[in-house]
């Protein structure tokens, strides 16, 4: 294990060839990292250490062994946020990784985005507790929906995304939320995204369009509309008020 100063409790497992470590270290200096160069060692590492949210996968060959391993990780460690890094964009491999629970795919040419991605994932993550929703208070079928939204809100764009994952239709999900006195799933998803953006507005100098993208909105205009509906102001006005409060 590298002796690297830690930021909070974030520990990463980096799966790559030893000769490629130098590519990633400049982007991960503030984190504790475990580099692994053999797929056979990964399962052992996962059972012996606690890894927070992020795995980086490098240079996949789409072998059955890899497919089984990635599915094992997705099922056994759902809180680990997975990003794949490929030397070049290859659609078939990106699709393969997506079927195994990998959340995002970057290429080597996009490594300059890694710092923002890490900050976005680790320092801005919104939980159900933010909305006074405590998952243990609900039936198991509702818990499953709430947990899925909490873990994946940045990558959910329609209610169909939720319904497809859970395996029930949208009206059933809405009925269950109503029965348990929770706001609609669509509204809850909007709250998650807006509050995620609030953290970015307060803690970064990113442009509004960039914040919209990083908060899971399909476009800037949609983001501004949802922000106004939730907080009765605009992202720019909110940021200005925050700047005044800091003075």
Structurally, the chain folds into a number of domains equal to: 2
Shared-domain flag, residues 58 and 163: no
Q: Are residues 139 and 196 in the same domain?
A: yes
User: Is residue 208 a contact partner of residue 223, using CB atoms and an 8 Å limit?
Assistant: yes
Task: Mark whether 25 and 90 lie in a shared domain.
Answer: yes
- Name the residue with tokens 């993550």: 125
Q: What is the pLDDT along the chain (247 residues), one digit of tens a residue?
A: 222 222 334 456 666 666 677 777 776 666 667 777 666 677 677 666 655 555 666 666 667 777 777 777 777 665 566 777 777 777 767 676 766 667 677 777 777 777 666 666 656 678 899 999 999 999 999 999 999 898 888 878 889 989 988 899 999 999 999 999 999 999 999 999 999 999 889 877 888 998 898 888 989 999 999 999 999 999 999 999 887 766 5
| Domain residue limits at 163 | 128-246
Same-domain status, 85 and 106: yes
**Is the residue at 148 inside a domain?**
yes
Contacts for 86 with CB less than 8 Å, ≥ 6 apart: 58, 59, 60, 93, 94, 105, 106, 107, 108
Degrees, nearest 5: CA angle 54-59-64:
90
184 and 109 within one domain: no
Are 113 and 141 contained in the same domain?
no
**CB distance 226 to 215 below 8 Å:** no
Whether residues 155 and 235 fall in one domain: yes
pTM given for the model: 0.59
pLDDT recorded at residue 41: 73
Whether 149 and 106 share a structural domain: no
140 and 75: one domain? no
- Of 123, 148, 168, the residue that ends a domain is 123
Of 78, 99, 123, the residue at which a domain comes to its end is: 123
Sign of CA dihedral 113, 115, 121, 123: negative
Q: Tell me, what CATH number does 239's domain have?
A: 1.10.10.60
What's the half-sphere exposure (Cβ side, CA atoms, 13 Å) at 12?
30
List CB contacts of 192: < 8 A, sequence separation 6 or more.
126, 149, 150, 153
Q: How far is CA 88 from the centre of its chain?
A: 22
Domain endpoint, select from 75, 95, 123: 123
Same domain flag for 167 and 241? yes
């Amino acid at each position: 294990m590298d002796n690297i100063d830690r930021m909070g409790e974030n520990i990463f497992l980096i799966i790559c060839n030893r000769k490629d470590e130098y590519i990633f270290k400049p982007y991960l200096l503030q984190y504790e990292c475990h580099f692994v160069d053999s797929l056979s060692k990964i399962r052992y590492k996962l059972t012996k250490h606690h890894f927070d949210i992020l795995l980086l996968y490098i240079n996949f060959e789409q072998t059955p062994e890899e497919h089984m391993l990635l599915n094992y990780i997705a099922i056994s460690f759902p809180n680990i946020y997975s990003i794949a890094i490929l030397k070049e964009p290859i659609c078939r491999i990106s699709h393969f990784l997506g079927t195994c629970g990998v959340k995002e795919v970057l290429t080597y040419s996009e490594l300059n985005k890694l710092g923002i991605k890490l900050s976005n994932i680790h320092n801005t993550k919104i939980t159900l507790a933010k909305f006074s929703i405590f998952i243990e208070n609900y039936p198991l079928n509702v818990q499953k929906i709430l947990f899925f939204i909490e873990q994946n809100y940045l990558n959910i764009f329609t209610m169909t995304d939720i319904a497809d994952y859970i395996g029930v239709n949208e009206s059933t999900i809405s009925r269950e939320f109503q029965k348990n006195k929770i706001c609609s799933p669509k509204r809850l998803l909007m709250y998650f995204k807006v509050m995620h953006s609030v953290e970015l507005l307060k803690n970064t100098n990113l442009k509004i369009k960039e914040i919209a993208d990083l908060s899971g909105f399909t476009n800037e205009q949609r983001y501004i509309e949802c922000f106004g509906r939730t907080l009765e102001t605009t992202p720019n006005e909110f940021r200005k008020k925050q700047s005044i409060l800091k003075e």
